[in-house]
Structure 1
Amino acid sequence: MAQIKDLLLQLFFSLMPFVLYSFYYRDRDTNYTKKFILITSMICLFLSMTFASSVEKGIQFDVRYVILFFALVFGGFRIGLLLMLEFVLYRLYLGGPGTSSAMGMMMVMFPLSVLLCSVYHRTSQKYLVAVMAGLCYSFFPLLLLYINRPDYILTHLTYHILIIPVHNSVGVLLLIYLFEKSATDKDMYLRYLQSEKIEAVGQVAASLVHEVRNPLTTVLGFLKLIRQDQAMPPEKLHRFIDISIEEVKRTEAILSEYLSMSKPLTQKREVIDLAHELEAVAEVMTPYATMNNVSLILHVPSEPVRLSANRAEMKQLLVNFVKNAVEACSAIQKGNVTLRMHTDGLLVKVHIRDNGIGMNKEQLRRLGSIYYSTKNTGTGLGLTYSYQVIRSMNGTVSVFSELHKGTEFTLSLPLASKDPDG
């Protein structure tokens, strides 16, 4: 039973580099480094030798060669050399009658490991080489020990032909297979992220060109007309110039939206009264709603509703939602937008409801995606920015909509923690 326990413990030590890799690199946007291989290998070698299995005092067996082979494969020759140095120093410190035999074995096994590592990198049958390495790590130490201590080997023959091969063969195969698969999957994931970034840049460029080209084409056309018609009446000339100025302003607004998306969200926050902010936004947006023949209705609590946020970002996202709601009602009669706020436990919920054109399932699914808009003249950046701000505050957005009946957005944001001194 004690030998089974030692076996399982050594197998655990042999798999520790994989376990540490899975834990440390799980949420990182980089893959393993040689420094990581060195540190984890040294830790695993130290633990393996400290809690080695043994059937006779002074003669220890562990997964040192498994860790060495792993370090050579994924870290290179220098990492393997440092690991061998660690083994030599620590084995001398541990001492015992098996020290000289252990040193002799390492002098043979290190160059063999380097050779097997070279074969591993050149062949497509990598796992076959790993199995061969495990068998070599079981056979050659057994042979060398038999030459020096045949009585010891014959006394503990079952241990050496069953336990030790499992130590090495299963350990090296599992470690190499699991680590290589995880590292390969991580590499594929990182390449996928990179390709997504490139695709996003392409989408930004294409969207920006599309958005800016139309107003610039309009301005260019009017400038050509002005140049061709030298005797153009002043009122017509002024009208053309006014239209051109409006198109230039539209281009500037589009560029400003793109620039706002490229800026990182600020970490500077303060405790604000969301009820007051929503009232201010409603006051600002009422003329715009009136211009679009839309009624703006506001229901907020009489007491302050405090949350931690950046005031400018919060105001901008509220304006974005209210503006979209107003524009959704602009094409119908008796359009109205209702803004309602209430607290729900540790959250404040803001409901923005309109009775406008509504959205279908496909539009709802894509809502908030970058550069997607339900409006012909929109870029979709306003809602994308708003979603980004809400997520940065650990908030959520839910939306319910029916075609030709209207839409309701519900913003759920965490309330500011109460001051214990207040």
Structure 2
Amino acid sequence: MTVIKDFLLQLALVTCLLFAFQIFFAERLERNTRLKVIMPFVFGTAILLCMTFPAYVGDEYRLDIRIIPMLLGTLYGGVESGIFLSLLIVLYRLYIGVDLGFYNTIITLLFGLPVFLYFQKHFISASKNKRVRIVLLLSAYYSIIGSLTGFLFHPISREVIQIQIIHLLTTLIFVGFFTSLNEFTREIILKNQQLLSEAERLRVVSVLTSVFAHEIRNPMQVTRGFLQLLNEPHLPAKNKQYIRYSIEELDRANAIIDDLLAYGKPAAQDLTRFDVALELRRVENLIQSYAISNNVTIQTRYEDNCWIEANPQKLNQSLINILKNAIESMPGGGTIWLSCFSNDERYVEICVKDQGIGMTKEQIDKLGAPFYSLKESGTGLGMMVSLQIIRNFHGKVKITSELDVGTEFSIYLPRIT
């Protein structure tokens, strides 16, 4: 029971130091690498406290959990931190006294430190779950080496074996806990930084659109006025259709500016009940010339009576942007499949599938973020607004993609009867 109390005391000391490090220094360490000198100092203090209050088994057998701060300090701090902590252990153990335990410490470090340093680079580049597994394996390895070395210098008894098992289990449990805690904290810090970065980008978008909206709308209004003057009764029907499409697209561009200005702000929606199939035929007509000029064929399959309640102009804006991206993802030409159908009683599903260059999972996760685009001249704002439009209609988007195979957008919108 006394041994367990001693281990709990060491754990309490280590926990206080590591929590303090996470609270006061972890976020700053992400921003200023010079503060990494604090890391070996904190872990070194934890080592000294563990060695100062060991668990005694008999008169000479000392056990502590220095492996936890030593291992974490080496893996997170790097080679310099690992060497510093190892020298600290040797010097403090020398200060305590040169006995069999001192030689045990030296031999264990000689077998343990090179392995830690070897896995350090693998640890830094590993995922969260893999990091935890690496830490558990290394701590088990170090503890077993220490136990086997101890058996060489001390008589083996049932009590000693039980204490070694308790020591091993305690080390594995808490080194896993501290590693998971550290990874969780770092993940939160990273997400907070990303949120701050995205908030700043959205602020820039808001400022830019506010500044340039007036200047952009002036030439658009002039162009629209001249197109209306050209739309005389004696014009051929085909020309009238082109003028009508041009005016409608100018109005759509003006609506895009409104979306950028109002992005992220709740606004009243002008909702209309309409059949998705009819709107998709209209979108197909609008994008057809652009597809032909890029050697792309659009194959369609529309199921009638796919009724939804939304703003058809805004939905068309979203679909045209997705189709345009699909066309541009096939520089050598190809086929796009455009379809809509009722997948059940709740949703109407719109599918846009291409044979383009595809995307990785990381690229899909970033899709829709401001200023993130896979095109050299892209801003990412078009996809950002398109996805926001679908969300405003209480819809959802599923994106599946494979490199060099293609991408499929599945848009689900609530169905009405």
TM-score, length-scaled by structure 2: 0.46
TM-score, length-scaled by structure 1: 0.46
Which of the pair has more CA radius of gyration? 1
